[in-house]
Structures are given as structure tokens and as C-alpha cells.
Chain A
Amino acid sequence: MEQIPKSVLSAIFSNLSKAAEKQDHPDESKIFEKLSGEYWKPDPANGGLDALKAGIEIDLSDNYAGVSSMADDLLDSGTQRCVKWGNKVSSIQRSLLSRYASKGEAIFEDKNLYVCEACGFIALSEDFPELCPICKAPASRFSRVK
């Protein structure tokens, strides 16, 4: 098996933690959560929000496109769905960073940030969204970022 980077293992294990939780296995879920934490030892990250935006740009221009064309060839509907949502969420991420870069702290006036726990969509709004515009999850799947 190819060597999988530690941070990728961390994401694999936090996903398995959620899958165990949904099967009503809280103990197993906690073990995977702990494993996820053990593998989350990222190198000290270079750069700030600009570097973050540059990474998102590469996902939008290259990474999702590569996965997408292979998923189309293989008729892998799950991956096609993942790419569709991921592209949209990444575009929103990029647009929030652009708006912050040009207007600064003013964009948060009277507004909160909400994240959809199902697909990662970020809303900048006064109140909880009624429905996720990307994956159609209800308001109860959103959490407010403090």
C-alpha cells in the first residue's frame, strides 16, 4: 500500500469517526476521533490567507478537474457528486477570501459565519440558512462559527 501522508490519514479517520457515530457506535467513533487527532501534526504552515487562497485556486483549476474527468470515464456517480459539491464549496471559499481581501472586516458587520456540516458550504449571513444551497441539508445541519 502506498504511503499515505499523515494529514490525509487524519481526514480519513475523522470521516470514519462520523461513520461509526451514525451506526450508533460511540466508543468506536471516539477511537477514530483520537486516531485522527494523533495523525494531525501538520508542518508549520507557511503563509496566511493569500497562501490559502492560492491552494483553493489550484483545486479549482486542476485538482477537481482531474478527479472529475476520471470519475466521468468510470461513471462513478459518488465521486461525480463529491466533485460537484467540492467545486461549488471551494468557489465560495475563494469568493469569501476575495471579499475579505478587498473590503476587510466590514464584510462581517451584523453577519455571522455558518458552516454546513454535510458539505462544507460557508454562509455569511444574519441568521442560519433555511436550506443549504449546495447539498440541500436543513438548517439543523449548520453550525455557527464562533
Chain B
Amino acid sequence: MYARRNLSLCTKDCLCLFVCPTGATNTATGQIDSKRCLDGCRLCVDACPSHAIHLVLDNYPEPALKNPELASLLLILIQSKTDQEAIAENVAGDEDMAPGARRLARALKISCRILAEDGAREAGYMLPQCQASRDLLESLKNN
């Protein structure tokens, strides 16, 4: 487990610099250097007055298995949302359309993609390393 800083919460009180045994929290990018961060140390997490640092796991547990029939229904829903996204993309790129319509289409395109991604998560593709994602990549590689 290594520490990661949420830069929008960080108030630059720098207490993480005081407690870090390796200097991993003190970097020019503002992000904690995961190579120098000590596994599970969490001193900076507890020292930070802004709760801006959390621990990221190296190995995530396998998410709960999804029912295959439910996953199939979710894939239909995702297809529907990506069909809408494709229409929205067309409208957004159509120079004959009014500017407001194109802006609304851009918003709908983003929104439909987020709904499709949420469906993908619930269909079992939660993490890149989970079994469903690995099986999918493997099957694409073999076809």
C-alpha cells in the first residue's frame, strides 16, 4: 500500500514532510513518490490535517462475481447509451446546427458515455485487473 495525495484537498501545511521517513512526500510534482513510499507506513495519512492523503492498494481483492444474465442486460443498456453518444457526436460536429444545439449535444455525449461506463462497471468490468477484464482482453487477443 502506498500513499497518494489529493491535490485539491491539500492545504500545504506540510506535516506530511515532517513525518515521512524517506522524503517520498516531498516532490516537485506535488504527488507522493510511490517508489520511495514505504508499504503501509501511513504516517503521512494520519498526520495530514486536511485528510488529503489516502493509501492505495497494490493488490485489490477480486470484486464480487456478477450474474451473467444481468451482465448481458447491462451490455444492452450500454449499447443503447453508446448509440445515443454516437448521435450526439454527430450533432455536435454538424456545423449547420445552431450553437446551443451543438453545445447540448456535446453535454449529452459526455453524459451518455458516463452512463455507459457506469453500466460497464456493474457488468463486471470494475477494475483492469479483475477476472472479467482479463478474460475479455484475452478473448480479444485470440480473435
**Which residues of the other chain, A, contact B118 by a CB distance below 8 angstroms?**
15, 82, 85-86, 119-120
Q: Dominant SS at the B interface?
A: helix
A105 within 8 A of partner (CB): yes
Nearest Cβ distance between residue B63 and chain A, in whole angstroms? 9
**Total contacting residues, chain B, CB less than 8 A:** 66
Q: By the criterion CB–CB under 8 Å, are A48 and B87 in contact?
A: yes
- Is A4 a contact of B75 with CB atoms below 8 Å? yes
Give a binary string over B72-94; 1 marks a CB under 8 Å from any A CB, 0 the rest.
11111111111111111111001
Please count how many residues in chain A sit with their CB below 8 Å of the partner chain's CB atoms.
71
- Interface CB pairs A-B, < 8 A, 29: A4-B136, A7-B82, A8-B78, A9-B136, A9-B140, A11-B117, A11-B119, A12-B123, A15-B120, A15-B121, A42-B85, A45-B83, A49-B87, A51-B87, A52-B84, A52-B88, A55-B80, A58-B80, A63-B80, A67-B70, A74-B70, A79-B70, A85-B118, A89-B115, A93-B108, A100-B104, A120-B114, A121-B111, A146-B106
